[in-house]
Structure 1
Amino acid sequence: MHDITILPTELIRLLKTDLTRLDATRLQELVIGVDYEIAMLKKAKAQIDTALIKRYGEQAQAALAATGRDFGTAHITDGCVAIKAELPKRVRWDQEKLAEIARRITATGDNVADFIDVKLSVSESRYTAWPPALREQFAPARTVEAGKPTFTLTIADKETAQ
């Protein structure tokens, strides 16, 4: 096992170079180091966000309520610091209930698309399990594209590395 430490100044220097020319071991260390730093920064960000909610959440809600709103942007101050608090609205729809409403709309002869955004999809596991005749019917509606590639680098045992 290697000690992996990548200091911010070293990282900046490395990112200005052609990373494809790095030794594979060094490239692996860089991947692990950056992944570690990202994980730490995500944890730190989550803790800071939680502290901001605890410290300013009620004030922001009160500021919005004073304007007759439950959601939106509120501006509050804490000493000489101006805080812009954004309290977004999140709407979720019960899919089963929407499907029932869609059936009722269709039964009345109206166009469902006039009322509901409909996105159709087919799970890939279902599609590949279908018999060929059924797959042929759906094939013209299916597009396959490459996703973003990922690479995992590990140090090989000395015996397998040769």
Structure 2
Amino acid sequence: MNTPLIVTEQIRDLAVAEIADLSAPELACLLDDLGTQKAALRCIEDKLDAALDRRYGARAGQCRAEAGKDTGTVRFDDNGFVVIADLPKRVKWDQDRLRHAAEIIRQSWGDDPADYVKIKLDVAEAAFANWPRPVRELFLPARTVETGKPSYRIENQGGAR
């Protein structure tokens, strides 16, 4: 492997136009270096998160228990610093059971399930592309296509840099 041509620290003071004018090998080096830095930061963040949980997890759990809650934010003191410990609630619903409950509300109770649950219709893009033309045309007015953030990869065709 060759010495890197350019690293991310070298582009901090460059304008976007100057970066865009770099050669493909230089851009490839930047992408590689950025990927390496992101992975290193993720590793550091994971270790720090684990260390904070090891140090404060039990105390935060005790504070939540004293407050009569399983999740949420608690605050406590540590040597003159306020520790704010948050344990977010992540709720997941079994879709089949929700559909069943919605049908009971509709059929047995005579109520509108939309008063209790969100009902989201969705179409798989691969299915849409394979539908017969009249079906696609029927659904086309309900379809909006948006784009995400562009991303690029640069790979050396020969494998060496």
Query: TM-score normalized by structure 2?
Result: 0.85
Unaligned runs of 5+ in 1: 158-162
Q: For each residue in 1:39-77, what CA deviation from the matched residue of structure 2 results, as whole angstroms up to 9, or x when unmatched?
A: 111121111111111111110010111122222211123
Structure 2 residue 25 is the aligned partner of structure 1 residue 25: yes
Structure number with higher relative contact order (C-alpha < 8 Å, ≥ 6 residues apart)? 2
- In 2, distance between residues paired with 1:76 and 1:140? 54
In the alignment, is the contact (CA less than 8 A) between 2:76 and 2:82 conserved in 1?
yes
1:6-17 matches, cutoff 5 A: 6=7, 8=9, 10-14=10-14
Partner of 2:126: 125
Q: Which amino acid aligns with 2:142?
A: A
- Aligned CA RMSD, in angstroms, stands at 2.1
Alpha-carbon distance, 1:6 to partner:
2.8
1:96 aligns with 2:96: yes
Q: 1:78: Cα distance to partner? A: 2.7
Aligned residue for 1:51, secondary structure, equals helix
Q: Give unpaired runs (5+ residues) of structure 2.
A: none
- Give the CA deviation at 1:80: 3.4
Deviates more, 1:52-61 or 1:81-90: 81-90
**Residue aligned with 2:48, SS:** helix
Identity over aligned pairs, percent: 35
With normalisation by structure 1, the TM-score equals 0.84
Give the SS at the match of 2:52.
helix
| Correspondence for 1:56 | 56
Total equivalences in the alignment: 156
